[in-house]
Amino acid sequence: MASHRRQWGALSSLLFLAPVFIAVPWLAYRNHRTLPEPEYRLFKPGTNIPQIAESEILGVAKFLSEEIGYRTVGTEEHAAADQWMVIQANKIKEECENVVAKTGRKLQCEVSRQQGSGYHRFDMMGKRLYKTYNDLSNIIVRISDGSEEGKEHALLVNAHLDSTLPSPGAADDAISVGVMLDCMRVLLATPDWSPKHAAIFLFNHAEESLQDGSHLFSTQHPWAKTARAVINLEAAGTTGRELLFQATSEQMIEAYSHVPRPYGTVFANEIFSSGIILSDTDFRQFEQYLNITGLDMAIVGNSYLYHMRKDLVENIEPGVAQHMGENTLALISYLTSDKSPIPDLAGGYTKPRTVYFTYVGRLFFSYSFATAKIMYGLLFLASVGLVKFTFAEPIPKGSGLWTVQGNAAKAVSLGVAGTFIAPNVVAVLMRQVLQKNLSWFSDPLAPVVLYGPACLLGALVPQYFFVGKIHERTLWTSILLMQTFMALGLQWMNIGSAALFFMSSLPLFIVTVTNPLFVSGSGDVALISYALGQIFPLLTSSLLGIPTLEVFVPLTGRMGAEAPSDHIIAILVAVLGAPAFPLAIPLMHRFGKRALLRGIIVTSVLAAGSIAFFSARDPFDAMHQKRVFVLHMENVTTSEQHLHLAASDGAPGFEILVDEIVREFGTTDHAPAPVIMNDHNSDWDSLYPFSAFLTPFKVPLAVPKNYVSPWVNGRKFSIYAIEDEKDLVGGT
């Protein structure tokens, strides 16, 4: 087999590897999109064993979002949802009492409608806000065995009833309300089920107003002090599996391992904890005021519809509710059982030092940081030993093994740098030159098509200066050493995401050990080794990259016009792409300088073609809409009226829309200049601090000559303080 290079040229080798490059991402995509079959039967066929039914959950979501509608805090619909929820809670209590009467099971269901007022400090987006709320309500159901011991340590399960303008909130968060109700139905109908520890189901009615409802419960409800852990159910999208993106103790990570369809990673936890998402949930209030641990789970796929009018049941993917319901039920069942760690959390909890992730199918792995450091350290040492004792290439005079490895590391590093630089050049071209930024917005995977060829081109170009000077196998082993070192170094800094490099380098190490089985020369690398060595790095990066892009691409539509969205996504594609193809650089050196030059030319053509394609593409469509904010304001003193217009993205064309509106309704024939947005721009206080991401226009409107404002002549506004207290300790 020593003549394999003469048998396999560059094109035939790529064709040989093509099944890996195609099948592995496809497998990852299929795994990502797999959801359970929706159930409509309340009981398992032929038994009296109840089961989660998606039809029941979506029925609740449809009623709240379409029959009642927008449930914005303080509206009539908000009050209607409150009344409806009280009725549902009392039905649960009645069913519970019937079960006890018929079976004598140890069950007690209590209903509490909490109403109260309060205030709290809320830090958000680097700004400090002071929130005051009056006469808000929560509906709470507690299920226990009826004993004081059973109520002493409780699990809290939370979802919110309200929605935000302009969204009917079918997914955010009516689907979670339906999940909680169906979990209670299944638990009560399960023969012989009795909770060792109480479960408190909190239907809080003011999350979108900056978590007032959860603050009210945490600070004023008598049951709150018994909560030891929380499961928070949320939604920022309408498709896919719900993601575990916060797990704040090792006990809760272990509890999550009992769900039937796990989907959570330490990567998501660390990304969310970094604050880059610029979002938050009720989980924060429970942590801050109750000092409890928990799990924060949310539906995140297709977040184009997050806080939009199309957040309707018809746009919720079949199987989503079933997936969330079954996982939530499993967590409640475990955490209220005699195996639950709930009592151990009464004295507080410690932050987790655990690496955890879901892999293909339902595989869920977790291990401690200490174990990770040992494993990664052993792999690094084994890799160093492997390189040292198997190195058999001719070494130039005056050079040693590590000098040669250092030169290879230099070539690899320049290739990685090019992987980041080239897509950012494309981003500059799209944004500054062609004025076609965000052209990839309507498809989460579209940025891979735009920036992927540029990433490859950036890796190829630097290698042109090293071909023939560094042996292919030296580059291979250099990548192995660099990846194992990165895994160990990052883990030593207690960054759990170091597992990405470990999961890539471990199979690479194994393939390096087995490579001699496929070749006769000790310095050769078999083509089959490339195929085997690429499978797991590509699979791991695809499993991580698909949901990451699914979150971040729609997020750019609400990051503001000034945000460098194209560069953010370009860097993200590079970050996800580089670990996916660790063997690309040694493969580039396999066929010589001429083949590499051809590769550079072909990749350049592909990059140019992708730029041309996306320059003719519109960012938005009916299901991937632009977010436009409109305020109609009247100055009751001067009678002036203005239309305030703003967008939350940097896509081109908004100025044209403003110009057309000005010509139709304004007092001038052209659009005014954008207004400076800062903390002192009071026109957009209703959206503060999110208003910092807007680039608004202020359009003067024509006012009829004899117009008289309805807000004057005895109906003037007056502002006065009914409570003025300062808490210097609490900061409120």
Output the average pLDDT for the chain: 92
Q: Is the pLDDT of residue 108 over 60?
A: yes
Higher-confidence residue of 398 and 112: namely 112
Q: At residue 661, what is the residue type?
A: I
Cα angle at 651 between 648 and 655, to 5 degrees?
85
Predicted local confidence at residue 1, as pLDDT: 39
The whole-number average pLDDT for the span 274-293 is 90
Confidence of residue 330 (pLDDT cuts 50, 70, 90): very high
Q: Is the pLDDT of residue 691 over 90?
A: no
Burial 317-347 (b: 16+ CB within 10 A, else e): bebbbbbbbbbbbbbbbbbbeeebbbeebee
220 Cα distance to chain centroid = 31
Q: At residue 124, what is the residue type?
A: M
Residues in a beta bridge with 199: 143, 155
Residue positions annotated with a catalytic role? 207
**Best mean pLDDT range from 215-229, 346-360, 654-668:** 215-229
Instruction: Convert the pLDDT of each residue in 471-504 to its tens digit.
Output: 899 999 999 999 999 999 999 999 999 999 999 9
Residues 6+ apart with CB under 8 A from 536: 503, 504, 506, 507
d(CA 248, CA 341): 14
| Phi, psi for 298 (deg, rounded to 5) | -150, 150
* Helices and strands, counts by H and E, the chain: 21, 12
Residues in a beta bridge with 247: 295
Q: At residue 230, what is the residue type?
A: V
* CATH number for the domain running over 41-352: 3.40.630.10
DSSP 8-state code for residue 671: P
The HSE-up count of residue 217 (CA atoms within 13 Å, CB side) is 34
Select from 84, 36, 33 the least CA-distant residue to 60.
84
Q: Could you tell me whether strands 641-647 and 697-700 are parallel, antiparallel, or unpaired per DSSP bridges? A: antiparallel
Other C-beta atoms within 10 Å of 532: how many?
18
The whole-number average pLDDT for the span 607-613 is 97
d(CA 436, CA 261): 40
d(CA 479, CA 585): 9
Confidence of residue 715 (pLDDT cuts 50, 70, 90): low
d(CA 400, CA 300): 51
Predicted local confidence at residue 394, as pLDDT: 61
Widest CA span in the chain: 98
Predicted local confidence at residue 2, as pLDDT: 42
Instruction: Convert the pLDDT of each residue in 644-674 to its tens digit.
Output: 999 999 999 899 999 988 888 888 777 788 8
d(CA 160, CA 233): 8
Cα angle at 16 between 15 and 22, to 5 degrees?
70
644 Cα distance to chain centroid = 31
DSSP 8-state code for residue 445: T
d(CA 193, CA 103): 11
SS3 label, residue 492: helix
E strand or H helix at 478, and its extent? helix 472-492
323 Cα distance to chain centroid = 17
Q: Scanning the structure block, which residue is given the tokens 């704040």?
A: 248
SS3 label, residue 347: coil
296 Cα distance to chain centroid = 11
Select from 383, 358, 141 the least CA-distant residue to 260.
358
Burial 494-519 (b: 16+ CB within 10 A, else e): eebbbbbbbbbbbbbbebbeebeebb
Select from 303, 80, 67 the least CA-distant residue to 168.
67
Do the Cβ atoms of 180 and 157 come closer than 8 Å? Answer: yes
Instruction: Convert the pLDDT of each residue in 230-256 to its tens digit.
Output: 999 999 999 999 999 999 999 999 999
Select from 477, 478, 488 the least CA-distant residue to 378.
488
Do the Cβ atoms of 642 and 662 come closer than 8 Å? Answer: no
Lowest mean pLDDT among 28-32, 220-224, 597-601, 682-686: 682-686
Other C-beta atoms within 10 Å of 446: how many?
20
Q: What is the dihedral of CA 174, 177, 178, 179, to 10 degrees?
A: 120
Q: Is the pLDDT of residue 6 over 80?
A: no
- DSSP per residue, 503-549: HHHHHHHHHHHHGGGT-SSTT---HHHHHHHHHHHHHHHHHHHHHHH
283: burial class by Cβ within 10 Å (0-12, 13-18, 19+)? Answer: buried
Predicted local confidence at residue 709, as pLDDT: 79
Instruction: Convert the pLDDT of each residue in 511-566 to its tens digit.
Output: 999 998 988 766 689 999 999 999 999 999 999 999 999 999 999 999 888 889 99
Between 499-514 and 565-580, two packed helices, what is the crossing angle to 10 degrees? 30
E strand or H helix at 200, and its extent? strand 198-204
Q: Could you tell me whether strands 198-204 and 127-144 are parallel, antiparallel, or unpaired per DSSP bridges? A: antiparallel
Between 472-492 and 369-390, two packed helices, what is the crossing angle to 10 degrees? 160
The whole-number average pLDDT for the span 92-118 is 96
Cα angle at 326 between 321 and 329, to 5 degrees?
120
Alpha helices in 556-623 (DSSP H): 565-580, 584-588, 592-615
**% of the chain beyond a pLDDT of 90:** 77
Query: Domain coordinates of the chain in residue numbers?
Result: 4-31+369-615, 41-352, 626-732
491: burial class by Cβ within 10 Å (0-12, 13-18, 19+)? Answer: buried
Do the Cβ atoms of 208 and 72 come closer than 8 Å? Answer: yes
Instruction: Convert the pLDDT of each residue in 145-190 to its tens digit.
Output: 999 999 999 999 999 999 998 899 999 999 999 999 999 999 999 9
Residues in a beta bridge with 129: 122
Q: Is the pLDDT of residue 721 over 70?
A: no
Cα angle at 133 between 129 and 139, to 5 degrees?
125
Rg (CA), the chain: 29
